[in-house]
Amino acid sequence: MPTADALRLAQEADLDLVEVAPTARPPVCKLMDYGKFKYENAQKAREARRNQTNVIIKEMKLRPKIDAHDYETKKGHVVRFLKAGDKVKITIMFRGREQHRPELGFRLLQRLAEDVTDLGFVESSPKQDGRNMIMVLGPHKKKAEAKAEIKAAKNQAAAEKAAVDAEEKAERTAANAGRSGVAKERGRSENLDPEIEA
């Protein structure tokens, strides 16, 4: 259709003539409300950004001669990060003569990877980087799945707490109802001032 006829049709229908495929021969155009089209595209882009997950890399620093309790604490942090769906960068820091014994750091990284194998996997194998040895662990679960599980667990815990609270409240009201029927008489021994009669 000639451009002039297409423009006339667009004006009659009170719409815009929008070029959809400019590289096609002949170019493809469409009659549409251009403002509405732009708005819908912006909405789709916003929804796509909302559903997009940002991968966060957490870092945990260790020393080759770490104490057993300290190792367990650091491992707990790594487990927490992996459960939340974050990647974890493990850094072993060597100082002084420790730099001549990189196998200590390598063994420590292997031990940590084996300890958290059910939650994550080794994304990049241990490699020496100057004074440090670095390894990256990736989670088995995606961030969105981890968030959904955490939210479900919180909702379940809240529901259980509400049920327990309701049960305790019912017990208290039943106990108070039983107590209100019997009026307690105060004797002279309960009165703090002996000169005042009850």
Query: For position 42, what pLDDT does the model report?
Result: 92
Query: For position 180, what pLDDT does the model report?
Result: 60
Q: Which two tokens stand for residue 32?
A: 């549409």
Can you tell me the mean pLDDT for 39-57? 83
pLDDT in tens, 14-43: 888 888 888 888 888 888 888 888 898 899
Q: How confident is the model at residue 184 (pLDDT cuts 50, 70, 90)?
A: low
Q: Which amino acid is at 72?
A: E
Q: Distance between CA atoms of 93 and 61, rounded to whole angstroms? A: 7
Query: For position 188, what pLDDT does the model report?
Result: 56
Query: For position 141, what pLDDT does the model report?
Result: 75
By C-alpha distance, which of 86, 151, 150 is closest to 119? 86
Q: Distance between CA atoms of 77 and 55, rounded to whole angstroms? A: 17
Q: Environment class of residue 112 by beta-carbon count within 10 Å: exposed (0-12), middle (13-18) or buried (19+)?
A: buried
By C-alpha distance, which of 53, 60, 149 is closest to 113? 60
Note the pTM of the prediction, 2 decimals.
0.52
pLDDT in tens, 58-106: 899 999 888 999 999 999 999 998 888 889 999 999 888 888 888 888 8
pLDDT in tens, 119-178: 888 888 888 888 889 999 988 877 667 777 778 888 888 888 988 888 888 888 887 776
Q: Distance between CA atoms of 141 and 83, rounded to whole angstroms? A: 8
**Does the pLDDT of residue 181 top 60, yes or no?**
no
> Could you give the domains of the chain?
3-51 (3.10.20.80), 57-143 (3.30.110.10)
By C-alpha distance, which of 121, 56, 120, 118 is closest to 86? 56
Residue pair 92/62 in contact by the 8 Å Cβ criterion: yes
Query: For position 74, what pLDDT does the model report?
Result: 92
Query: For position 119, what pLDDT does the model report?
Result: 86
Q: In terms of pLDDT, which residue wins out, 165 or 52?
A: 165
Q: Distance between CA atoms of 118 and 78, rounded to whole angstroms? A: 12
